[in-house]
Amino acid sequence: MKNHSTLKKPAIKLHAGQNVIGKWHHQSYTVVRKIGEGAIGAVYLCTQRGRPVALKISEQDAAVTVEVNVLKALKKVQGYRLGPSLLDVDDWTAPNGRVYSFYVMEYMKGDRLGAFIQAEGKKWLGVLMIQLLDDLEQLHQAGWTFGDLKTDNILVESNPPRIRLVDVGGTTRMGRSIKEYTEFFDRGYWGLGTRKAEPSYDLFAVAMVFLHIYYPRRFDRVAGEASGKLLEKKLYRAKDLDLLHPILKRALKGKYLTASEMKKDVIDKMKQLQRRSHYHKKTRQKKNYPVLESFSISIVASIYWIISLLLP
């Protein structure tokens, strides 16, 4: 007694060259390649009349609609570009006869955060962290928690380097339960907090994102070992992060209640370093202080960037 229409909708796979044509708005998109895949469907690079766009399609219609709602809500957050901009929402009747929901967004060109730091060096850590915290602050003020914050969902656009958040699948209204998360970045997994949407949930993930750069293969919780201790140990082993240790530690402990508090600490730290490296330059012959030096470069960059923010 099997009724085919009630069978589970199979996951959808698109191949290069395939055309996806919307049922309602009749726009046509040509698939170039798959960009990524996650809990909810997959993202494809497509072209629409020659221009590149990103198309997300899933067998879970409800989840697609929920993400679209978030993108629409973010659009209303004044003058600030949080997440990719939404271009189209539609349904597509696949060759298998089933209807799949999809949405089309701006294609963001950039490196994943981890790849960017590997290529460009740790001197960018401070600037990028400030940018990230700045974006989160805006998002939080608009009443949202990003949720599924992870290295894969942070792209760095180049010239000048600028962080962009992608994938709003986990983006949740403050005070509700986080919709989607990735274990390594989730404080609930580590037993270090709830899964309630609040700023400190994202700030924990920020610390894990920076830790992840130095543990690209991630690591698991250990049964019988306190996770707080384990994370601290891992943190201290990531020598490149040493200047940020106290800040990251506070974030892991949930001590920052707002992104701006954490951002202020990062900025203060960088100012302090700038003063110190200035001092070193005056009093000594050039001695090798790679970390300090690289940080002072990033201070210049971040000041440049902060000024650019202040300009209209």
Partner 1 sequence: MKAGTLKQILLLTDGCSNKGEDPAVVAGLANQQGITVNVIGILDDDQTEEPEGLREVEDIAVSGGGVSQIVYSERLSQTVQMVTRQAMTQTLQGFVNKELRSILGKNQSMEELEPEKRGEIMEVVEDLGETSDLEVVVLVDSSASMRDKLETVKEALVDLSISLNARIGKNRFCIYRFPGRRNDIELVLDWSPKLDAISQVFPKLTSGGITPTGPALRAAMYQFSKKQLRRKWDEEPFDIEETGY
Ligand X SMILES: Nc1ncnc2c1ncn2[C@@H]1O[C@H](COP(=O)(O)OP(=O)(O)O)[C@@H](O)[C@H]1O
**Least separation, in Å, of the C-beta of 30 and ligand X?**
16
**Least separation, in Å, of the C-beta of 177 and partner 1?**
4
Contacts of 185 (CB under 8 A, 6+ apart): 148, 149, 150, 204, 205, 208, 209, 212
Show contacts with partner 1 in window 92-111 (CB under 8 A): 99, 101
Amino acid at 104: V
**Least separation, in Å, of the C-beta of 112 and ligand X?**
6
Give alpha helix (H) positions in the chain: 61-76, 113-120, 125-141, 199-214, 227-237, 245-252, 259-283, 290-310
The residue from 19, 93, 194, 308 that contacts partner 1 (CB under 8 A) is 194
Decide whether 181 or 190 has the Cβ nearer to ligand X.
Answer: 181
Closest to 304 in 3D by CA, of 184, 48, 131, 72: 131
Nearest-angstrom CA–CA distance, 158 and 155: 10
* Interface stretch with partner 1, choices 138-146, 181-189, 205-213, 247-255 (CB under 8 A): 181-189
In the shown chain, the binding pattern of residues 45 to 84 toward partner 1, with x for contact by CB under 8 A and - for none, equals ---------------xxxx-xx-xx--x------------
Q: β-strand 144-145 against 154-157: which pairing, if any? A: unpaired
**Residue 153, binding choice from ligand X, partner 1, none, Cβ under 5 to 8 Å by partner class:** ligand X
Catalytic choice (148, 152, 167, 202): 148
Q: What angle do CA 137, 143, 147 make, to 5 degrees?
A: 75
**Least separation, in Å, of the C-beta of 83 and ligand X?**
8
**Least separation, in Å, of the C-beta of 194 and partner 1?**
5
Decide whether 162 or 195 has the Cβ nearer to partner 1.
Answer: 195
Nearest-angstrom CA–CA distance, 294 and 123: 5
Q: In Å, what is the CA distance from 71 to each residue of 110, 111, 175, 240?
A: 20, 22, 19, 35
The residues facing 45 across adjacent strands are: 33, 54
Residues found near ligand X in the complex (CB under 6 A): 35-40, 42-43, 54, 56, 84, 105-108, 152-153, 166-167, 169
Nearest-angstrom CA–CA distance, 71 and 83: 7
Q: Is 148 a catalytic residue?
A: yes
CB 197 within 8 A of CB 176: yes
**Residue 249, binding choice from partner 1, ligand X, none, Cβ under 5 to 8 Å by partner class:** none
For position 141 contacting partner 1 by CB under 8 A, the verdict is no
Decide whether 146 or 295 has the Cβ nearer to ligand X.
Answer: 146
Using CB under 8 A, list all residues that contact partner 1: 6-8, 24, 39, 60-63, 65-66, 68-69, 72, 89-91, 99, 101, 175-180, 183, 188-189, 194-197
Query: Annotated active-site positions, please?
Result: 148
